[in-house]
Amino acid sequence: MWEAVRQEPLHRRAMFQLGQLLGPVQPEAAAAFQLRADAFLEYSGRMERVLNAAGQDVAGFTLMITILAESGRVAEAAAWLRMDNNRHGRLQLSPLVRQRLNELPQGSMSRCEPAADLTSRFDLSALPLPDWLQQVADLQRSAGGSLVAELNQPVQFADVASIAGLDFTWNSGSTGRPGSIRVFESTGGGVAVLDPDLDGRSDLFFTQGEPWPAGADAPQPSPELNDRLFRSHRGRLTDVTAAAMVDPDESYGQGCCAADFNNDGFPDLYVAAIGRNRLLQNNGDGTFSDVTEQAGLTQSAWTTSCLVLDLNADGHPDLYDVNYLQGESVFRVECGENRCSVLYFDGAPDDVLLADGSGGFRRIPAATPTVTPKGLGIVAVPLPGDSRPALFIANDQVPNFFLLPNSDGTWRDEALPRGLAVNYLGRPTACMGVACGDLNNDGRRDLFVTNFEAEANCLYLQRLDGYFEDAIQGTGLFQPGIPYVGWGTQWLDADNDGDLDLAVANGHVADFGQPGEQYRMPLQLFRNAAGELSLQTAAEAGDVFAAERLGRALAVLDWNQDGARDFVVSCIGSPAVLAENRSAVGGWLRVQLHGTRSARDASAAAAQLTTGQRSVWQFVSAGDGYQCTNERTLHFGLGAQSGPSSLRIDWPGGAVQRLTGIPSDVTLQVVEGRDEVYVRPE
């Protein structure tokens, strides 16, 4: 990294990493590189604001010139002043800045003046270099390949929402003013897949927005707009909200999480919102009660996504709120054709709430990083050697978090040294959705992260335990993501060939009427053939991928229990999508886990199915990415493989369970610590 800065003195990523990593060995150098990286980041943010202000932000333009001159980019500062041509008037620059500008040689094009070059001030050439050959050898040993041959059958999906009775549209509460939008109107609502009555069929829960008047700091609840619960029965989805939801809903809904917070065997709902989140307890009779007050949940923020998971390994599921933005005007500002970046607003720190074991929760003060938190998505990533999970937080336009637990209930961020903070170019991106799965079948969780238009999405492969690389370049995922604004995304084995395919929901944040700019965008399906992912056309995969929408949360399920993976998408301003998989798929196995020593719903468990010489890993994920909960079932595609299989289960508490003689094309119920397995009737 030092050599990178020596060759390219404006390399902010290398400076940032030096600032993070040099602390223990050369603290003075670490502080200098970190300060320079922070200055460059401040400059980038200020530049966008100054340009949008059209000559009115004198203080911001002054700061831009000051940062450039003080960091050695004097020629660049002079170029800005020439281009400005006194549009901002006479600037109040410090004597040092004016001196550097006056001393700049005529016609100088120097990118960084030698006196400001940090590599000249701090010579790190004597520090030892990494053993690159050993690292390559480690990566080669860890790499996995495709385990099941492609079936060479077409993959086809059809939107059956209307046929099945699913009638839901998320309402943003927009004022309806053309060419204008408030930031919260673009996030959309969440969807959770759950089986509240334990009948073996997946039901669907959607969060809803509310009318929000212009200039107001809170919505005006409408009796017509409520979160909705649809029950699946005999191939139909029926709206049972009125009967199931005991308490009225008046929140502006965001994401949601279906999980068993009280370990009674019935999935509950934790609903994120702008304002106060709600905890809905499953009463075991098909109804839910709001127990937010009884549980001691008093926090109020803009929570986009949430997670219910045992965070401290005490057997009791805890709560994690992914919070987004805060500030006096965050809900009043209307963005026009010049747009407004989330960099204008302050980030809201996340909240950690630990369970007390009797239905209540305790908020941990200052539990998560307070520097640049602007979270949208979350997944849990358990690591070897610790029964407490790590957490990946997808942040918007600022570095992502990879949080590891401390002993006092707080969390530290290690995203940068572990390869998850920025993209392959070393830049933070507008991260939103997260898909978590073992793409290369090495037993480690890999992450696919969606980004804004003009940014490639990120493919974080876990090369070594807890260490990742954005390997998006050179894959079939790189180019197709650049034109779109990506949101919800999930891995799924669409053809049951044992390889993970990928579904992505897209849609712009607003329609500013710019020529050539696409507002509504298509869903995408990437098929995995022997480790190579390629975008499927609508002609190949079905008309559901031709229609353009404002797609947001996306969750995976097998809604009709035919052994083929389906998915559901919540959309802004248009009906939700239920994409039914109608492909001629291979063999399959579904496994549902029930913890005894671990938390009841076994979130964050891992399982390895071995058939013959082939093995495939699947995970009970927690968080599930952007505003959603997937079906809590492990799904294994078997392709053309036949014969009994063996199953290894790594329970969240650390226990390992092995089962043999596993049949195919069935749904198994496995209880932690019991050798018997139960086949659920389909």
Q: What is the tens place of the pLDDT at every residue in 498-523?
A: 999 999 999 999 887 777 789 999 99
Q: What is the pLDDT of residue 135?
A: 52
Tally of CB atoms within 10 A around 599 = 28
3-state SS class at 485 = coil
Q: What is the pLDDT of residue 522?
A: 98
Task: Identify the CA nearest to 318 among candidates 375, 261, 236.
Answer: 261
Mean pLDDT, to the nearest integer, of 95-124? Answer: 86
Return the percentage of the chain with pLDDT > 90, whole number.
69
Return the percentage of the chain with pLDDT > 70, whole number.
95
Q: Which residue has the higher pLDDT, 480 or 585?
A: 480
pLDDT value at 134 more than 70: no
Dihedral in degrees, nearest 10, Cα atoms 591, 595, 598, 599: 100
**Domain boundaries, given as residue ranges, for the chain:** 1-129, 157-587, 588-679
pLDDT band of residue 636 (cuts 50, 70, 90) is very high
Q: Measured in whole angstroms, how far is the alpha carbon of residue 60 from the centre of its chain?
A: 32
Mean pLDDT, to the nearest integer, of 449-469? Answer: 96
Q: What is the pLDDT of residue 144?
A: 40
Mean pLDDT, to the nearest integer, of 598-613? Answer: 92
Buried b (16+ CB within 10 A) or exposed e, 377-414: bbbbbbbeeebbbbbbbbbbbbbbbbbbbeeebebebb
Alpha helices in 240-385 (DSSP H): 241-244
User: pLDDT tens across 300-336, in order?
Assistant: 999 999 999 999 999 999 999 999 999 988 999 988 7
Tally of CB atoms within 10 A around 367 = 21
Mean pLDDT, to the nearest integer, of 154-179? Answer: 93
Angle of CA points 364, 367, 370, to nearest 5°? 135
Distance in angstroms (rounded) separating the CA atoms of residues 399 and 422: 6
Mean pLDDT, to the nearest integer, of 598-623? Answer: 92
pLDDT band of residue 338 (cuts 50, 70, 90) is low
pLDDT band of residue 25 (cuts 50, 70, 90) is confident
Mean pLDDT, to the nearest integer, of 533-552? Answer: 97
Q: What is the pLDDT of residue 290?
A: 96
Q: Which residue has the higher pLDDT, 523 or 125?
A: 523
pLDDT value at 138 more than 60: no
Q: What is the pLDDT of residue 7?
A: 82
Q: In this structure, are residues 225 and 208 in contact, taking their beta carbons and an 8 Å threshold? A: yes
Q: In this structure, are residues 323 and 302 in contact, taking their beta carbons and an 8 Å threshold? A: yes
Distance in angstroms (rounded) separating the CA atoms of residues 61 and 53: 10
Q: In this structure, are residues 622 and 580 in contact, taking their beta carbons and an 8 Å threshold? A: no
- Spatial neighbors of 38 by CB under 8 A, at least 6 apart, are none
Return the axis-axis angle of helices 27-53 and 12-21, rounded to nearest 10°.
Answer: 140
Q: In this structure, are residues 305 and 256 in contact, taking their beta carbons and an 8 Å threshold? A: no
Task: Identify the CA nearest to 486 among candidates 515, 445, 458.
Answer: 458
Longest alpha-carbon distance in the chain? 83
Strand partners, 678: 669
**CATH class belonging to 588-679:** mainly beta
Distance in angstroms (rounded) separating the CA atoms of residues 255 and 271: 6
Distance in angstroms (rounded) separating the CA atoms of residues 47 and 613: 57
Q: What is the pLDDT of residue 600?
A: 93
Q: In this structure, are residues 66 and 93 in contact, taking their beta carbons and an 8 Å threshold? A: yes
Angle of CA points 474, 478, 483, to nearest 5°? 150
Asked: is 157-587 a CATH 2.130.10.10 domain? The reply is: yes
Mean pLDDT, to the nearest integer, of 339-353? Answer: 90
Distance in angstroms (rounded) separating the CA atoms of residues 650 and 646: 13
What is the Cβ-side half-sphere exposure of residue 81, based on CA atoms within 13 angstroms?
21
Q: What is the DSSP letter of 343?
A: G
Distance in angstroms (rounded) separating the CA atoms of residues 512 and 336: 7
Q: What is the pLDDT of residue 505?
A: 98
Distance in angstroms (rounded) separating the CA atoms of residues 292 and 280: 7
Q: What is the pLDDT of residue 178?
A: 76
Q: What is the pLDDT of residue 432?
A: 98
User: pLDDT tens across 207-220, in order?
Assistant: 999 999 999 999 99
Q: What is the pLDDT of residue 149?
A: 40
| Token pair 């990533």: residue | 381
Q: Which residue has the higher pLDDT, 19 or 352?
A: 352
The beta strand positions in 384-538, using DSSP E, are: 390-395, 401-405, 411-413, 434-437, 446-449, 458-464, 467-470, 486-492, 501-506, 521-522, 524-529, 532-535
Radius of gyration of the chain (CA): 26
Min mean pLDDT across 124-138, 295-309, 372-386, 471-485 is at 124-138
User: pLDDT tens across 248-302, in order?
Assistant: 788 999 999 999 999 999 999 999 999 999 999 999 998 999 999 999 999 999 9
Distance in angstroms (rounded) separating the CA atoms of residues 400 and 378: 10
Tokens representing 364 are 């941990």
Q: What is the DSSP letter of 430?
A: B
| Token pair 């390869």: residue | 419
Q: Are both 157-587 and 588-679 of the same fold?
A: no
Task: Identify the CA nearest to 536 among candidates 522, 550, 551.
Answer: 522
Q: What is the pLDDT of residue 42?
A: 82
Backbone angles phi, psi at 383, to 5 degrees: -120, 150
Q: Which residue has the higher pLDDT, 521 or 530?
A: 521
pLDDT value at 148 more than 70: no
Mean pLDDT, to the nearest integer, of 646-651? Answer: 96
Q: What is the pLDDT of residue 22?
A: 80
- Spatial neighbors of 524 by CB under 8 A, at least 6 apart, are 480, 481, 484, 502, 503, 504, 506, 535, 536, 545
Tokens representing 540 are 């190949």
User: pLDDT tens across 40-92, in order?
Assistant: 878 877 887 787 777 888 888 999 999 999 999 999 999 888 888 788 788 88
Mean pLDDT, to the nearest integer, of 388-398? Answer: 97
pLDDT value at 150 more than 60: no
Min mean pLDDT across 52-61, 125-134, 410-419, 513-522 is at 125-134
Distance in angstroms (rounded) separating the CA atoms of residues 584 and 682: 19
pLDDT value at 29 more than 70: yes
